[in-house]
Amino acid sequence: MFNGKSILITGGTGSFGKLYVRTLLERFDCKRIIIYSRDELKQYEMQQVYDTEEMRYFIGDVRDSERLTQAMRGVDYVIHAAALKQVPAAEYNPTECIKTNVHGAENVIKAAIANGVEKVMALSTDKAAKPINLYGATKLVSDKLFVAANNIVGGHKTRFAVTRYGNVVGSRGSVVPFFSRLIKQGVKELPITL
């Protein structure tokens, strides 16, 4: 599927992106793997691990539609993993959360269509199913934008999909490390709400 293809990963220096890149390098013969991330230090650190011919590193933010469109030139597949996903940070900085998670999604859609990308897979969260916080609400809006984009592409070949997943062990923002810390501190009842 990915052999001979160019793949761009937004938020590619995050926990998902790093593992996904490793999987791509181990299982496929990709033409290019483009890491699109606003974190210069994480990109540098990732380059130390994955310094192969097919790897490319773009400093950029999904909020910047011009840079995103430039980065997607010649790309076959996009994995959209960039998000402001820390629930407390989203609640405290609602405008920033909306800019990244909603406007960023719009920018990914527009750049993908403009560049004739074949497929875009947007990563989402179980928190979008019945949102009770801003993060979940913005991801629900993002999900709906990606699904609706399939109706607006017209004659373009670009197709969009969304996948939702829950807490992932080892990822930033997962509840698992939080619960582990509480257990190590001797807490007998975990703060779980329904």
Do the beta carbons of residue 174 and residue 168 sit within 8 Å? yes
Instruction: Give alpha helix (H) positions in 116-188.
Output: 134-152, 175-184
> CA-to-CA distance for 12 and 80, rounded, in angstroms?
9
**Which residues, including other chains, have CB under 8 Å from residue 145's CB and lie 6 or more apart?**
102, 105, 106, 109
What phi and psi, each to the nearest 5 degrees, are found at residue 18? -60, -45
Structure tokens at 119: 């497929």
d(CA 192, CA 165) in angstroms, rounded, equals: 18
The reply to whether 139 belongs to the active site is no
- The sign one gets for the Cα dihedral 11, 168, 188, 182 is negative
Beta bridge partner(s), residue 121: 79, 161
Are 39 and 109 contacting, i.e. CB atoms less than 8 angstroms apart?
no
Tokens, residue 138? 């913005």
List 18, 42, 85, 127, catalytic entry: 127
CB 71 within 8 A of CB 34: yes
Hey, which residues are catalytic here? 127
